Amino acid sequence: MGEIFSYDFMVRALLAGLVVGILCPAAGVFLVMRRYAFMADTLAHVSLAGVALGMILGISPSLTTLAVALAAALGIERLRAAGRLHGEAVLALMMSSGLALAVVLISLARGFNVDIMGYLFGSILTVGPGDLLLIMVVGAVVLGLLAFFYKELFFISFDGECARVAGLPVDRLNVLFILLVALTVSVAARVVGILLVSALMVIPVLTAQLLSGSFRRLFWLSLVLGVTVCFWGLVLSYHLGTAPGGSIVLLAAAFFVLVQGGTAVWRARQRRRLLTGSEEKLPLVKLGERTSGP
């Protein structure tokens, strides 16, 4: 495995994967707790319009993707805060509109060198020094703000109304959080792909939920799982010659299946042990013997 580190592109890919492996579950924990996991998928699809826009304007797609994702996040939060549409309706509206815009822009960008497949399914092996720097800077900003507002975001995720009564600026924190999610999606899409980025934000968190009994353990275990699947997914991708983004997500799904099966077996054994213990404590009544009673 040491030969992997002899290639500059693999070193950049591993560094980008490790940052994204921490970043996605860190934001995904709060999304899952809010039952708002569809948000990541919506922003990922909308960011595809940013890729085509960057190609048309001759600007780095990473920057235009970032700008479009942030604009979409603000639009979603404004529509949601207005209260005229439910959260799911807002996400569906933004996703369909953003995807339609992406299709139109892609059709206009046919004469340009647009690596749409790389953005759809990830192109981590082509991450350049500039891309890696952007990923690390955005990752540091997002993780720093998540750490600083950890308690407030935790409070809002579990009971937004109670947090509002307690005096927290819920609306401003919601805007901040959704912007952090947009930043996460925009940089993670470069690594695992637009179609798979939401899976990396959600699956490690769902796996950690099966093993943790507190939010703190859930948070840290999600990060450990995210880093693990990104690292070993890239290693497997290198040796098997498979797509890096798909390998990472499939490995995350495999972890979930194994943990789900293991916890199901453990619960069945615990239930059987409790039933066996309760049966041993029951009094034995001989055949034909009457029990005492009225």
291 part of a folded domain: no
**Residue 42: domain span:** 2-281
Q: Quick one: pLDDT band at residue 253, thresholds 50, 70, 90?
A: very high
The first and second tokens of residue 64, run together, are 């235009």
Quote the pLDDT of residue 12.
Answer: 81
289 part of a folded domain: no
21 part of a folded domain: yes
217 part of a folded domain: yes
Q: Where are the alpha helices (DSSP H) in the chain?
A: 8-33, 38-57, 61-82, 87-108, 116-121, 129-148, 150-158, 160-165, 170-192, 197-209, 215-240, 244-281
The first and second tokens of residue 103, run together, are 């299709």
The first and second tokens of residue 22, run together, are 């921490």
pLDDT surpasses 80 at 33: yes
What is the reported pTM? 0.80
Q: What is the mean pLDDT of the chain?
A: 80
118 part of a folded domain: yes
- Total domains in the fold of the chain: 1
Higher per-residue pLDDT: 130 or 216: 216
Quote the pLDDT of residue 164.
Answer: 84
pLDDT surpasses 70 at 290: no
Tens of pLDDT, residue by residue over 193-214, are: 777 888 888 999 999 988 887 8
287 part of a folded domain: no
Largest interatomic CA distance in the chain = 94
292 part of a folded domain: no
DSSP reduced 3-state for 2 = helix
User: Can you give the CATH number for the domain in which 190 is found?
Assistant: 1.10.3470.10
Higher per-residue pLDDT: 283 or 116: 116
116 part of a folded domain: yes
